Amino acid sequence: MIPVNDLSRGFKLYQDEYEEAALRVLRSGWYVLGHEVEDFEKEFAASLGEECYCVGVANGLDAIMLGLMAAGIGEGDEVIVQANGYIATMLGVMQCKATPVYIEPDEYYQLDAANIEDAITDKTKAVIVTHLYGQATRMDEIVRICNDRGLMLFEDCAQSHYAPYKGKNTGLFGKAGFFSFYPTKNLGGFGDGGAVVSKDPEIIKQVKILRNYGSDRRYHNIEVGFNMRLDEIQAALLRVKVSHMPELLANRDHIAQRYLSEINNPKVSLPLIAEGCKHTWYQFIIRVDDQDRFRDYLEKQGVKTDISWRTPPFLQPCMVEKYGYKEGDFPVTEELCAHIVTLPMMDHMDEDEITTVINAINSY
Ligand SMILES: Cc1ncc(COP(=O)(O)O)c(C=O)c1O
């Protein structure tokens, strides 16, 4: 059976280096907020290709929440998000006591700039763009609207490490970028991890304070903070992975290019790539008429698939209870969620495996 993902393959590619990094930390006697985290922060920021700063945190949701808090998002504020994004983006807004305001996505599954103006009220403070599946959002119009309307722009880059729009990496377009290093991510660790990236030193300073009990120096707490730190072992392992990202992205691109050129079935719609974007294939998403029938068929051919996610965030019980959303409120998103299927995509696939996936789809 070909899995949708197999994380052990990524580990085996650079096993010696990962083991060396983990042992280095274990033997060092220093496990939280040491030089591995500091070096990772510097190396990840440098790898994004423009002058920026990075602060490591415990996971992607913490990055969103702390980044928004550091920028002053709070009670009574509205933050525009795309309805088909991942629920962590909305939860980050809600944890700041602000309200997520949903808008529909475009044909590339990304936030549609054309829908922003209608969602703006006098409470709107910010827009969070979630670059989904490994492709950047078309940012020109979004940046223009945010500048014109005095809105802060944030990016959820949990699925878009090193995915550029017009040559600029996601995370660098607005006030801050929020990253997750959850193991499945293109830059995934071996446990939870996350980071806030910003060109604004004040945001970085404030996130550093908030992630460590609200302290600006040892035993001196100026904020009601949290414990949301990235640990040394994760940072050491992520440093190894950062150094190999060009090869890892090339592996994914090879799989994706074969899917794009060899999948040929009128019942299957392939992903579209927007002008100015270089897809990094966090997930290879296709559209089919009947998700269940298609997935059952592929499973019988030895190919596992997934759906990320069948129920959109606004229809999750916690959102329905709080905001009273109902089916039909965001029809573009609902239609999407009812038709997308995630194909196998991982750090390494044999040519035979890729061929099996392609043949299974073409024979459907
Ligand atoms: C778009 C998006 N935002 C945020 C997150 C949350 O990241 P984490 O799982 O590290 O909290 C994820 C993934 O899990 C995600 O896909």
Ligand 1 midpoint to CA 213 (Å): 23
| C-beta 60 within 6 A of ligand 1 | yes
Ligand 1 midpoint to CA 300 (Å): 31
- Show the low-confidence residues of the chain (pLDDT under 50): none
Q: How far apart are CA 159 and CA 271, in angstroms?
A: 16
Q: How far apart are CA 156 and CA 174, in angstroms?
A: 11
Helix axes 232-262, 35-47, angle to 10 degrees: 30
pLDDT of the residue at 59: 98
CA distances from 227 to 29, 57, 179, 182 (A): 20, 9, 18, 18
pLDDT of the residue at 160: 98
Ramachandran region, residue 16 (left: φ > 0; alpha: ψ -120 to 50; beta: rest): alpha
pLDDT of the residue at 327: 98
Give the mean pLDDT of the chain.
98
Q: How far apart are CA 112 and CA 139, in angstroms?
A: 10
CA end-to-end distance (rounded Å), the chain: 17
Strand order in the sheet with 152-156: 53-57, 194-198, 176-180, 152-156, 124-130, 78-82, 99-103
Ligand 1 midpoint to CA 183 (Å): 11
Ligand 1 atom nearest residue 85's Cα: 1
pLDDT of the residue at 359: 98
Domains annotated for the chain, with CATH where assigned, are 7-240 (3.40.640.10), 245-362 (3.90.1150.10)
Ligand 1 midpoint to CA 261 (Å): 30
Q: How far apart are CA 272 and CA 49, in angstroms?
A: 26
Nearest protein CA to atom 6 of ligand 1, as residue: 60
| C-beta 165 within 6 A of ligand 1 | no
Q: Which amino acid is at 354?
A: I
Q: How far apart are CA 271 and CA 280, in angstroms?
A: 12
Question: Torsion angle of alpha carbons 57, 62, 66, 68, nearest 10°?
Answer: 130
| C-beta 110 within 6 A of ligand 1 | no
Helix (H, G, I), strand (E, B) or coil at 253: helix
Ligand 1 midpoint to CA 11 (Å): 21
pLDDT of the residue at 70: 98
Question: Model's pTM, two decimal places?
Answer: 0.98
Nearest protein CA to atom 4 of ligand 1, as residue: 88
